[in-house]
Amino acid sequence: MTSTLGLSQLGLVDLLPPSLQTIPEAVGKNMAIARARTGSRIMAVVKADGYGHGAITVAQAAISAGAEWLGTTDIEEASALRAAGLTVPILTWLNPSGFDAEAAATGRIDIAVGSLEELEALLKQTSPAAVRVHLHMDTGMARGGCPVHEWDALIARAWHGHQRGKVRVVGLMGHLPLADQAESEVNAPAISRMYQARKAIMEAGFGAPLTHLAATSGILTDPATHFGMVRLGAGLVGIDPSETTELHGASRLTAPIVHSATAKAGTPVGYGGTYITDTSTSLSVLPLGYADGIPREISSEASVEIHGRRYPVVGRVSMGQIVIDTGADSFPPGTTATVFGPQGGLTPTIYDWACWAGTIPHTIVTGLGPRVRRTII
């Protein structure tokens, strides 16, 4: 094997917006598609750092395009949005580290409460004002949210907290377990449960809660799930889990070639030698691997794009490197390869990578590691 030594510096991989389109433009276009499908308020969900695209950037773009609410994982994420000057209502609903009632009240951050234990923990705390609460009911997922048999107890305890001035129940939320199937009949049980919960909350003495059930798939496929508000998350950055609507990709992942080599026929490539060249060929190394978010379990169909052509990824994915087989074409170090980008042309998409890895596109964009340099335009 003969080789051409790579650049003296390793180089970094870049997450760049698609050509001729900024992240705010892509988010704005996706918001417009969602707006055309619903008359409900839209919450822009920017969990996982805006699905890997920058929470503040995505949130600002969504608000500019008409989003009236923001959604985050926890109070810490919500507080960062407040510190960036965003003033629209924000809801958090996972809060893995627990609730901070004072931070929620001071930051004007709503909290979703999905169990008696969570509510009790909240009521034990002191805060300068009543904490705004959305009751999170299990509508068929068994993955968070209050089980049906505990709804009455949760609502009664919330009413007690309301009378003491500790909480204000302003919202009701649930999840659609089967919305990705894009068949309205599969959503009927969850819809029925939301109406049941809404009625129980109102009969307890609360006003009509702002009710929200649908996320991206429900928004795009089933108006019956929309209620007073919908939650647009993955759809903001171009991911439609229902695969019914072509949205606008908001990013492009590129990396420079850092090493090039000519390999003879019969040369094993990478750990374990799982790929062996069948002819004399050119190989190039890109400085990104599973530590950067490239799935290790990719099929032999995985490829990248260089100068309008696709080249396969060969051998095992390493922690910080992948190898591509460029055949008769030889590229010098510094040549840019595009790992994924928006739909159209020969550039692989996040959907392609999800297919090659046997996963969903969400994991591709949210799995990008800290070495990936984000360039926000």
Reply yes or no on whether 290 is catalytic. no
Cα–Cα distance for residue pair 195/14, rounded to 1 Å: 46
The confidence score (pLDDT) of residue 19 equals 63
The confidence score (pLDDT) of residue 345 equals 82
The fold of 23-237 is: TIM Barrel (3.20.20)
Q: What are phi and psi of 125, to 5 degrees?
A: -90, 160
Tokens 């809660």 found at: 209
Cβ atoms within 10 Å, residue 14: 17
* 97 has pLDDT over 50: yes
> Residue 107, Cα to own-chain centre: how many angstroms?
24
pLDDT tens digits, 302-358: 999 999 999 999 999 999 999 999 999 999 999 999 999 987 789 999 999 999 999
Domain locations in the chain as residue ranges: 2-16+251-374, 23-237
Catalytic residue among 124, 195, 199, 271: 271
The confidence score (pLDDT) of residue 8 equals 29
Q: How many angstroms separate the Cα of 308 from the Cα of each of 30, 112, 215, 337, 340?
A: 26, 47, 35, 10, 13
| Contact between residue 168 and residue 209 where contact means Cβ atoms under 8 Å apart | no
Q: Which CATH superfamily is domain 2-16+251-374 in?
A: Lyase, Ornithine Decarboxylase; Chain A, domain 1 (2.40.37.10)
* 83 has pLDDT over 60: yes
* 1 has pLDDT over 60: no
* 9 has pLDDT over 60: no
* 213 has pLDDT over 50: yes
Angle between helix 151-163 and 116-123 (nearest 10): 10
> How many residues would you count in the chain?
377
Share of residues in the chain with pLDDT > 90 (%): 90
* 368 has pLDDT over 60: yes
Q: Determine the average pLDDT of the residues in 197-202.
A: 98
Cα–Cα distance for residue pair 142/307, rounded to 1 Å: 48
pLDDT tens digits, 137-175: 999 999 999 999 999 999 999 999 999 999 999 999 999
Residue whose C-alpha is closest to residue 286's, from 240, 318, 327: 318
The confidence score (pLDDT) of residue 323 equals 98
371 or 118, which is more confident?
Answer: 118
Average pLDDT of the residues of the chain: 93
Reply yes or no on whether 29 is catalytic. no
Q: Place 16 in a pLDDT band, splitting at 50, 70 and 90.
A: confident
* 3 has pLDDT over 50: no
* 264 has pLDDT over 60: yes
Catalytic residue among 29, 47, 195, 290: 47
